[in-house]
Structure 1
């Protein structure tokens, strides 16, 4: 298949969490055209049912692919990936990269053999997480906790709002207060929003904890899938697309520009 140099990479999330996946991809492919799509009308996904996410995500990605003709799509959302990735791949005729919890690297890093998986409620209850934990962390205690409040904290941070440190403390306490949590030494940030507030989480941790997430691995996967394809000689304008555009999305303008997204559109 011939790919035009200006064919973009499409990143998709319920909100701005996928920017943590976009950043290492941009570093790896600095001139790649980017379309970043956020389902602001459906945000947040982590409190929705599996059926809602499985129906909504493929339909939206179908519309986005029709409009922007990307060379590949990245579901930069753990909840959407663990629930809807196979549905999306069946519906689209371009490569689709999913984002899954970084449980394998966490198991390799943990010295205490106790690590946490911090995600949304929808992600941490998925059988997919069970399988990853059994495959890569069979000799570990794997603690899980879902935090909707931490997703909102990341969105608020990118809007430039003041942050309540109790939110990060509460999210970590959901892991640390479980049996074995006092020796937990690694935390998987299993929601793409959470790396955006890693500094706040580190400040809230009562003892040193290593945080891991999948951004660098996704960047490597994008490089592999696009090897040999042409790119523009210089970076162009990046586009952010929202399914609902109001003052909350407009407030994200300065943060989006820092990620190379200087144009905002509604889907």
Structure 2
């Protein structure tokens, strides 16, 4: 017997591709559905109330349409605000995305860590809790950037990030008191690994970047261990909550991630 139910990845935009890719590498026969809430993009500048109401409602509709075996909220902002609301509302296993502060603390030698995310993520008490639990002996500096989300989205359309803009984003961390000692940066937005190479090149000194993608992939593999999959890989599909010229321009990039079908919610 085979089970054709997909794994569903949800994000405000394209950042969740940085979580889908390592999951697809571990589970090559898994049917994948990638959902971008293009009608609500970007989440990083929205209020907590808006996100807490919007995400569970959308995922309820998506669960009804696609009958996923598991949902990955591949968005730090949505996870830190709405994860518990979604778990309470849906009878489907839910995997969230949280800033990778624990692994960052494990590898930092200077004990100064940067957390680079959206404005909505970096101000969350959840991040305070992660820092206290896993990086209590570290200085944890934070910076929120909506601009970097837009840069990452544009990079998928073939627009190369401008080094000066990348340096300006990173200055939000490195120019803080103690920032010159940062040796690890947490990409606390799933968009940011899409431009990690450009961020590393723009940093004033060598730093390591960490994100939650590989860990989430391992978690999904663990939760689905022993389940049946189609006998051969099947093309994935991408779903937009609103189609536009901009979303259509992303079709070639989505195909590179194995997402051949395009649908609208």
TM-score range, shorter chain: over 0.9
Residue 181 of structure 2 corresponds to which residue in structure 1? 183
- Structure 2: gaps (5+ residues): none
The aligned residue for residue 238 of structure 2 is 240
Pair 1:57 & 2:55 matched: yes
Q: Which of 144, 148, 151 is residue 150 of structure 1 equivalent to?
A: 148
Q: Does 1:112 align with 2:110?
A: yes
Match of 1:40, SS state, is coil
1:4, distance to aligned residue in structure 2 (A): 5.6
Q: How many aligned residue pairs are there?
A: 265
Moved more, 160-169 or 170-179: 160-169
Counterparts of 2:242 and 2:168 in 1: how far apart (Å)? 30
The answer to whether the 8 A contact 2:110-2:183 is kept is: yes
Identify the residue that residue 90 of structure 1 maps to in structure 2. 88
Whether 1:71 aligns to 2:78 is: no
Unaligned runs of 5+ in 1: none
Deviations 1:41-97 (A, max 9, x none): 000000000000000000000000000000000000000000000000011101000
Question: Residue 163 of structure 1: CA displacement?
Answer: 2.7
Which aligned pairs between 1:1-267 and structure 2 lie closer than 5 A? 5-267=3-265
Q: TM-score, normalised by structure 1?
A: 0.98
Runs of 4+ in 1 over 6 A off after TM superposition: none
Are 2:2 and 2:231, in contact at CA under 8 Å, matched by a contact in 1?
no
Q: 3-state DSSP class of the match of 2:142?
A: strand
Q: Distance in 1 between matches of 2:218 and 2:205?
A: 31
Give 1:149 deviation, angstroms. 0.4
Distance in 2 (alpha carbons) for counterparts of 1:54 and 1:78: 13
CA–CA separation in structure 2 for the residues paired with 1:220 and 1:140:
27
The TM-score with structure 2 as length reference comes to: 0.99
Provide the C-alpha distance between the structure 2 equivalents of 1:57 and 1:159, rounded to a whole number of angstroms.
26
**1:163-206 C-alpha deviation (Å, 9 max, x unpaired):** 32222111111000001111100000000000000011011011
Q: CA RMSD in A?
A: 0.9
Per mean C-alpha deviation after superposition, the further-off stretch among 160-169 and 83-92 is: 160-169
> Residue deviations 1:133-177, cap 9 Å, x none?
011111110000000000000100001124322221111110000
Please identify, of 223-232 and 163-172, the stretch whose mean Cα deviation from structure 2 is larger: 163-172
In structure 2, C-alpha distance between the alignment counterparts of 1:119 and 1:159, rounded to whole Å: 21
Q: Give the Cα separation in 1 of the matches to 2:256 and 2:124.
A: 33
